[in-house]
Amino acid sequence: MSRRDLGICLIGCGRAGMIHARNFMNKVPGARMAAVVDVVEDVAGAAAAELGIDKWYTDYRHILDDRDIDAVVVVSPTNLHRDIVVDCANAKKHIFCEKPMAMNTRECDEMIEACKKNGVKLQIGFMRRFDASFREARRLLEEGVIGDLVQIHSCTRGPSKPRPWMYDLKKSNGILAEINSHDIDSIRWFAGSEIRELYAVAGNFRNPEAKAEYPDYYDSVLMNGVFENGVQFSIDGAAYVQYGYDSRMEIVGTKGVLHVGRSDASFIKCTTVEHGTSTPFISSWMTLFADAYLAEDIAFAEAIINDTEPPVTGWDGRQAVSIVEAGNRSILTKSIVRL
């Protein structure tokens, strides 16, 4: 393609979408924001005004024939990802798709095939792979600092009350998808292997109003199992914990252990007679992973400009969806699931 800056269109102008848009506006070399799309007209217009661009739409299909747009960033609800990605791939647009990649592995396969057929890049939004602390931990693991890998323990707990649509597992796939997709991808990345079998348990402890209409909804989940290479793992996920955004990983080796992630919002501890010692807790993933979002956006642009494979592929997204499906099946059947 020509050496002009890549024209980027954001599809979905919510919190995560606007993080990407602000990055592409002036922080990603070789890229620029060209258009935004959101089904809510006021949201799309406000996003365009903030970004200083003229093109905004309520239907993504308006951008398919626009040659000024080289790539799209898809941050719409998960159940819309498949159609948007396939249509944009067929229009020869490169694609950055936020997690979860899709509702099921069939949709993932269709997305991957459409991108392959049309020769466009497909990168999935697993930003923890770009976080400095996660990358350093993986480097230390690969160098053998803690010996051979034995176990990985990963947790993500979100503070916010779920939106009503999340109660319906047919629309959300549960918090294994909405919250723990990052944990699933991270443990695969560290293990360097695929999961062989898993077992999951879950329950609704904080949202009693959802129990009557959505008896399968869960706001807490534990999933453990073993990789094909023998490495053991556990994932702990929760929604509406209220105390803060909690994302941590422990990597256990034969000669040591690595701890990744932080919960302190600052590096200050305040001690008083009245309240003892306190430290503000991280309140949002937007704060914790701001630099990682920028790094993954830069990597996406570089993959297009340099015609290289994106560092997080459609296969990575598909495998995370596959594990979510298996975890939900284990919860429902109360049995071990072998992949």
Give me the pLDDT at residue 264, please: 72
133-162 per-residue burial string, b: 16 or more CB within 10 A, e: under 16: bbeebbebbeeeebeebebbbbbbbbbeeb
Domain count, the chain: 2
From 97, 120, 143, the end of a domain falls on 120
- The yes-or-no verdict on residue 265 having pLDDT over 70 is no
Q: Is residue 301 part of a domain?
A: no
CATH code, 247 = 3.30.360.10
Cβ–Cβ < 8 Å for 194, 212: no
- The yes-or-no verdict on residue 2 having pLDDT over 50 is no
- In tens, the pLDDT along 177-214 reads 999 999 999 999 999 999 999 999 999 999 999 999 99
| Separation between Cα atoms, residue 126 and residue 186, nearest integer Å | 8
- The yes-or-no verdict on residue 6 having pLDDT over 90 is yes
Considering the domain architecture, whether residues 106 and 244 belong to the same structural domain is answered as no
Domain range for 26: 6-120
Burial class (CB within 10 angstroms; exposed 0-12, middle 13-18, buried 19+) of 313: middle
Cβ–Cβ < 8 Å for 189, 279: no
Q: Is residue 236 part of a domain?
A: yes
Considering the domain architecture, whether residues 52 and 187 belong to the same structural domain is answered as no
Q: Is residue 39 part of a domain?
A: yes
E strand intervals along the chain: 6-11, 31-37, 55-57, 71-74, 94-98, 122-125, 149-157, 195-203, 220-227, 232-238, 246-253, 257-260, 270-272, 276-278, 337-338
Q: What is the pTM of this model?
A: 0.93
Considering the domain architecture, whether residues 31 and 107 belong to the same structural domain is answered as yes
Q: Is residue 306 part of a domain?
A: no
Considering the domain architecture, whether residues 173 and 253 belong to the same structural domain is answered as yes
- In tens, the pLDDT along 43-75 reads 999 999 999 999 999 999 999 999 999 999 999
Considering the domain architecture, whether residues 192 and 219 belong to the same structural domain is answered as yes
From 100, 120, 140, the end of a domain falls on 120
Considering the domain architecture, whether residues 99 and 154 belong to the same structural domain is answered as no
Considering the domain architecture, whether residues 142 and 282 belong to the same structural domain is answered as yes
From 120, 152, 186, the end of a domain falls on 120
